[in-house]
Amino acid sequence: MNLEFFFSALTTLWGVGELLIAVLTTTREGAGKIQDRGTQIVLWVVIIASFKIDEWMHGFLPVDMPGSHSWLRPAALGILILGLGVRAVAIGTLGRAFSANVAMRAGQRLQRSGLYALVRHPSYLGLELIFLAFALHARTWACFAVVLVPPTLAVLYRIHVEETALRLAFGADYEDYSRSTKRLIPGIY
C-alpha cells in the first residue's frame, strides 16, 4: 500500500461521510427555522463541478508544481487527514445542533468551546483543508485553482448566510463571540 491508496481511501471515506451528513443532518421543514438560501445545493454543485473539471484537466495538463514528485503528495495526505479530523471534531462538538443546511433548531445554544473557541466555523476550516489537500494532490497550478477557488467562494457565501442566521438567533451574544474569534483561520480571518 502506498500514499495514493491512502489518499484514495480517505477521499472515498470523505465522500461517503458528506453524503451521510447531508442525508442524516439536514433540517426538514417543521424541525427548525431553515435559513439556507440554497447554500447546501450551491456547495454540492460547485464542489462536484470543480472536482469533475479537475479530473478532465488532468487528461491534458502536465504536472508543473515544484516538488510535485517528492513532497506534494505526502503533504496533501497529511493535510487531508488534518482536514477530516477538524471537520469531524467540529461536527461532533455540535452534535444534534449540527445541520447540513443552515437552520436553527429550538433550544439551540451558541457553541464557544473546543475548536469553536479558535474559529467560528471550524467545520468549514476542515472543509477548506480538504480542498487544499485535493488542490496540492493535483500537482498542476490550473487544477490547484479549479479545486480550491470556486469551492472556497461557495464556502464564503455559505458562511455569510450562516452568520446572518446566527446573528438573528443569538443577537448580542453572537456579536460578542464574533469580536473574540475569527471566522475561518485562527488569528487571521
Find the CATH number of the domain harbouring 147.
Answer: 1.20.120.1630
Position 8 scores a pLDDT of 94
Count the Cβ atoms, other than its own, within 10 Å of residue 161. Answer: 17
* 143 part of a folded domain: yes
* 101 part of a folded domain: yes
**Domain ranges, residue 170:** 39-54+67-189
Give this prediction's pTM.
Answer: 0.93
* 149 part of a folded domain: yes
* 10 part of a folded domain: no
Position 146 scores a pLDDT of 97
Instruction: Compute the distance between CA of residue 177 and CA of residue 34 in angstroms, rounded to an integer.
Output: 22
The total number of structural domains in the chain stands at: 1
Query: How big is the CA angle at 94 (ends 50 and 188), to the nearest 5 degrees?
Result: 60
Helix (H, G, I), strand (E, B) or coil at 104: strand
From the first residue on, what is the mean pLDDT of each consecutive set of 10 residues in the chain (189 residues)? 89 95 85 83 96 93 83 93 98 90 84 94 97 94 96 97 93 94 92
* 96 part of a folded domain: yes
* 22 part of a folded domain: no
Position 57 scores a pLDDT of 95
* 146 part of a folded domain: yes
* 165 part of a folded domain: yes
